Amino acid sequence: MRIEFATVPHPDEIARAEAYRRQAALLKPARSLGKLEDLGAWIAACQGQSPPRPLRRMRIVVFAADHGIAAKGVSANDPELTRELLAAVESGGAAVNVLAAAAGAGVRVVDVGVDRAEASEFTVRRGSGSIDVEDALTDEETEAAVRAGMRIADAEVDEGADLLVPAELGVGSTTPASAVVAALTGVEPVAVIGRGSGIDDNGWMRKAAAVRDALRRARPMVGDPLALLRTAGGADLAAMAGFLAQAAIRRTPAVLDGLPAAAAALVAEELAPGARAWWLAAHRADEPAQVMALEHLDLEPVVDLGIRLGGGAGAATVLPALASSVRLLADLPTKDPEPGLDVT
């Protein structure tokens, strides 16, 4: 099983430096806009120009899949809830839809592995194996899911997307995500286990046992990212990994949501080294595995709002700040125009 990824380009550091130089000339006290200045400079580097263009087509792509491990009581919710949540997002009635609309972003839903009668163009499997005792996917399903994510990233970029957000939807998704993070960071299972959907102590112990057993099977696969996704991941994690890697190859910035996106990002960095330079961590989720994954990627979350909903909700709250950082850099007048500094 092998997928060839193109070389990941570097963001434009000259454009980033020019953005910071422009920030210093804007009509405001030096560094008074804090992290907004860093966000604007990051977008400038991704676009390769300063000031950057306004963000006009931000897209949240929700990858939906069921996880076999959910039947083992690792979530506070029944596995059947995945279908209800998927229907809510598809009808525009979920939290991510409301938050995306407020941010001026579009939402796309992709069913890559939900256990329901109707399949989508990108469905690779209905549900996944229970990772404590069996592989989540087959080799063929893993490759199909990664390629699906790549195709969707290409399609979104070709349609004009200038910022992408991969998100997950599926009961039990933080369990395989925790196993993947533990495998790639080398920590013990108990160190990565959070409360996820709000599990009680008994649920936490079931989740810890599931990750422990999955990790025993996954650790020998650490040197092979696709094998790791097959063993301990799932269709959503595999698709998000392909999506994130291909977005970076296409020079398109991406914003990471919660733990599943961070786990997929760890794998994507293995598949396409250097891709992390094109990513921004939106928020700090209430999951220790997400914190470890972001530290491993050297990414610092923009905000900490205590959000644990998943599905792109946390990332959606950061999109207005990103859009504002670009407009401030582009539209705020300068104190004294400098020779050669474009203030238009």
Asked whether 81 and 64 are in contact (CB, 8 A), the reply is no
Ordered by start, the domain boundaries in the chain are: 62-318
Q: Looking at residues 264-274, what average pLDDT do you find? A: 98
pLDDT score recorded for residue 308: 85
Exposed, middle or buried by CB within 10 Å (0-12, 13-18, 19+), for 57? Answer: middle
Mean model confidence pLDDT for the chain:
94
Per-residue pLDDT tens digits for 289-309 = 999 999 999 999 999 998 888
Q: Which residues are catalytic?
A: 311
For tokens 């990627």, the residue is 297
Global pTM reads: 0.95
- Which has the closest alpha carbon to 209: 41, 201, 52, 321? 201
pLDDT score recorded for residue 337: 57
Answer with the residue of higher pLDDT: 218 or 336.
Answer: 218
pLDDT score recorded for residue 196: 73
DSSP state of 136: S
Per-residue pLDDT tens digits for 23-56 = 999 999 988 999 999 999 999 999 999 999 999 9
Take residue 243 and report the two structure tokens written for it. Answer: 């999506």
Strands, E assignment, 238-337: 254-256, 279-281
Per-residue pLDDT tens digits for 74-122 = 998 999 999 999 999 999 999 999 999 999 999 999 999 999 988 889 9
pLDDT level of residue 342 (50, 70, 90 thresholds): low
Q: Which CATH number fits domain 62-318: 3.20.20.10, 1.20.272.10, 3.40.50.1100, 3.40.50.10210?
A: 3.40.50.10210
Per-residue pLDDT tens digits for 140-189 = 999 999 999 999 999 999 999 999 999 999 999 999 999 999 999 999 98
